[in-house]
Structure 1
């Protein structure tokens, strides 16, 4: 019988439009494998929220493989070592995988390629990183020219159908998913996750279909947190339950500003990966490094640590910020407009280093993505290769009114639910209910402090 082919799944947990799976299926019997490699990832091991999603996504993919009388083989350990042993044990001719660009995955791919026939395929992005370059052949650093050049190459291809799978004569042993304890035990902090999300490839396509029906309104609705105007595709895209090529193809049937705006956000995802390829440690190292005098870091005093904790817990006294941080804790996700407001508040109102926010989001987001998370935080902090100026300070109270966040605040800050639309954005004085905190710092005071710190380090 033809030698089996191993498919190494990572953030590509789908059967359709999965180039590595298609190539392996065309070459012989397929052994699907997922390796939980906390050792190789080191400090970038998946956060708690991502692990919750991973558990359910793997369970869903295993059930889908069951339609082919196939299954997912689960192993735990350093990926390159686990896969090399598995290839020897099964007599696999090749290991197929979709390319990943995070530093720890690049190191694993390089090491694995020394011991097995590793076949790498593109499939996590609209275009392979490095495909979009300037006239001189250099990678772009700024989003706008990157996106303009990328659009000229899109669509690069059509999505692939789900392949038929042949199975090996013998299956290697694998771990039991439950033994990985990816889910919380006691207390179970993820009860809100299950209410907010359906996980898996089928759920991703259901979500895309629902979003496509309302995408014409997306240009405006995406900024209104009280409306369900977001795509909510980000965790499905992050875990590869649906590919960006599939999303682009589906939305190509829809004209108008809304669909075009969302296509621009898919391109931002490609752009963020393009940045990581140029600067692999971007989520840890500022591109434009400021003097340590700018940040009030928590290790410099307990009052600063208390400010960070108040932000994490949604107890800043700014309802739009608190609503976002509480939504994040309960659902593992936050509305994109509110993400910008909450992130800006941390780095500019509180003058706390953006990396503390990036780490909190890494642990709490179900869509925590190495490139997107790092690029977005450096954009808001003004430290990035392409970023907002630090001196542009978002006013959370104004943003809350402008984008009609009253309903959103009532949902996530229930102690303010009885206030009127006029009062709820800034419940000062007699309108502030007992139990809701006073502002951690006034907006005017925070703005003046931030600008003074900026002038000093500039």
Structure 2
């Protein structure tokens, strides 16, 4: 039995602390709290240890900035409001606090006189440390801390290789994942069976949910990104994806097409259950036409894989390469590298597909998975810039930022990670563009300067002659940048950079 442990104890009062699980349906912690407590209260904390650095970073970039805009905070707040409405339908209510949860949760547990606090596992090192502090303070006060598996199908040590060690290569991990999987692992937690235990908190503890402004943020980005928040947003996207899943394997690499699920942000904040998605993917993969579902299931297994890697190798959270020998790579530094990095961030490298990808990220907080690989490879191998700088930039911008997956993807692209792209394999940004955006439709959407450039030339406009470019309204270096680097030369430099480690 690999699911969350069964509980024998029963309690008078319990508290559920929502974090990355902003839903009422199929929620492990909520299920066990309702099943084992006569009364259950619910809380969400806007964590100042997370929010304050966002505000400080924004003010470093612009000292005169007022309220900070962050579509992820808007997404969370909208999802929290929907979660509260859902709990109220069952007779409960969501307390929403703003502060340090290591202080707020023990204090609230004491005020409510609960015997246990229920929560779902969080796997990032900072979150593990936070939860350990909360657990210790609860124990000191005579209360229990009860965490459950909810965010993944298999966690930590549940899948090990034949030698009893964690996997470092994806395909054997995937095979073991599929072999160990049982219907029980995908079974939803029937929260509704015990909903009568939901309770409203005393009036003296209930207060209005903190506004965005009160927390130092301003609205405006969520609508621009067309993000559908909450459980209802997840269900709308899932229903839409189910009409397209048969073509997922063929269309998922083409950014101009609506080929992917767009559910990653909902998985990140738990507005949909991983069990729901994995169950659908697995069941549909068994059908005669299940190739699209099987490919999607493989992507969900990659997510578990990266969580497992983080659990066994927490040093990667401190900036270490998964393969320690790559920590000695000599990256480009200095003013030239800084200028190249700024060009990459701002989408003005002169390589249209890379620029379109970065502009999409900056404008919407979303980047297509194929383009994450292309843009990451370009930074690390064409520009020779430390992948950690790109990893941090994605962390600031991605709506679905999840440390384990983001770090895993960057280390894959930079060839420093587990089961990574071989160091001598270097994406050609032009051929990638020709293959995955052949008509330049995606490029034209985000790089309107090239709107009139024919498909033949749009992937590498510098190859067209000056007169043709002028006819299309483009002067390189004025309307659109010259390439910041020659890919052929950059490839040779990258091979030499990695080759030094090889020779050692």
TM-score category of the 2 structures, normalised to the smaller one: over 0.9
CA drift of 1:66 comes to: 2.8
- Residue 67 (structure 2) aligns with: none
* 2:13 and 2:38 in contact (8 A); partners too: yes
Q: Indicate yes or no: 2:224 matched with 1:192.
A: yes
* 1:40 and 1:104 in contact (8 A); partners too: no
Which blocks of at least 5 consecutive residues in structure 1 are unaligned? none
Query: TM-score, normalized by length of structure 1?
Result: 0.92
Q: Secondary structure at the match of 1:129?
A: coil
1:442/1:317 CA distance change after superposition, 3 Å: same
Q: Secondary structure at the match of 1:367?
A: coil
The separation in 1 between residues aligned to 2:55 and 2:322, in whole angstroms, is: 23
* 1:55 and 1:177 in contact (8 A); partners too: no
Q: Indicate yes or no: 2:57 matched with 1:25.
A: no
Q: Secondary structure at the match of 1:376?
A: helix
| Aligned pair partner of 2:352 in 311, 319, 338 | 319
- Residue 51 (structure 1) aligns with: 73
1:138/1:83 CA distance change after superposition, 3 Å: same
Q: Write the mapping of 1:23-172 to structure 2, written as runs, cut at 5 A.
A: 23-26=32-35, 27-39=37-49, 48-114=70-136, 115=138, 116-154=143-181, 155=183, 156-163=185-192, 164-165=195-196, 166-168=198-200, 170-171=202-203, 172=205
CA drift of 1:174 comes to: 4.6
CA drift of 1:162 comes to: 4.0
Q: Secondary structure at the match of 2:304?
A: helix
- Residue 350 (structure 1) aligns with: 383
The separation in 2 between residues aligned to 1:208 and 1:160, in whole angstroms, is: 19
The separation in 2 between residues aligned to 1:145 and 1:446, in whole angstroms, is: 34
The separation in 1 between residues aligned to 2:16 and 2:121, in whole angstroms, is: 12
CA drift of 1:96 comes to: 0.3
1:182/1:61 CA distance change after superposition, 3 Å: farther
The separation in 1 between residues aligned to 2:497 and 2:236, in whole angstroms, is: 48
1:38/1:353 CA distance change after superposition, 3 Å: farther
Q: Indicate yes or no: 2:497 matched with 1:453.
A: yes
- Superposed CA RMSD in Å reads 2.3
1:374/1:64 CA distance change after superposition, 3 Å: same
Q: Indicate yes or no: 2:486 matched with 1:442.
A: yes
* 1:50 and 1:368 in contact (8 A); partners too: no
The separation in 2 between residues aligned to 1:145 and 1:385, in whole angstroms, is: 13
Query: TM-score, normalized by length of structure 2?
Result: 0.84
- Residue 64 (structure 2) aligns with: none
* 1:324 and 1:334 in contact (8 A); partners too: yes
- Residue 287 (structure 1) aligns with: 322
- Residue 6 (structure 2) aligns with: none
- Residue 15 (structure 1) aligns with: 24
The separation in 2 between residues aligned to 1:89 and 1:410, in whole angstroms, is: 57
The separation in 2 between residues aligned to 1:107 and 1:211, in whole angstroms, is: 37
CA deviations on 1:388-429 (whole Å, 9 max, x unpaired) are 122210001001111135111111111111111111111114
CA deviations on 1:209-248 (whole Å, 9 max, x unpaired) are 1111211111110011111001111000010111111012
The separation in 1 between residues aligned to 2:215 and 2:420, in whole angstroms, is: 35
* 2:93 and 2:200 in contact (8 A); partners too: no
Q: How many residues are paired up?
A: 451
* 2:186 and 2:279 in contact (8 A); partners too: no
1:67/1:326 CA distance change after superposition, 3 Å: same
1 or 2, which has the higher helix percentage?
Answer: 2
CA drift of 1:106 comes to: 1.2
- Residue 451 (structure 2) aligns with: 417
* 2:93 and 2:199 in contact (8 A); partners too: no
Q: Secondary structure at the match of 1:177?
A: coil
Which blocks of at least 5 consecutive residues in structure 2 are unaligned? 1-10, 58-69
CA drift of 1:25 comes to: 1.4
The separation in 2 between residues aligned to 1:129 and 1:175, in whole angstroms, is: 38
Q: Indicate yes or no: 2:209 matched with 1:176.
A: yes
Q: Write the mapping of 1:190-229 to structure 2, written as runs, cut at 5 A.
A: 192-193=224-225, 195=226, 197-229=227-259
The separation in 1 between residues aligned to 2:107 and 2:211, in whole angstroms, is: 23
The separation in 2 between residues aligned to 1:189 and 1:41, in whole angstroms, is: 17
CA drift of 1:109 comes to: 2.1
- Residue 230 (structure 1) aligns with: 260
- Residue 259 (structure 1) aligns with: 293
Q: Secondary structure at the match of 1:4?
A: strand
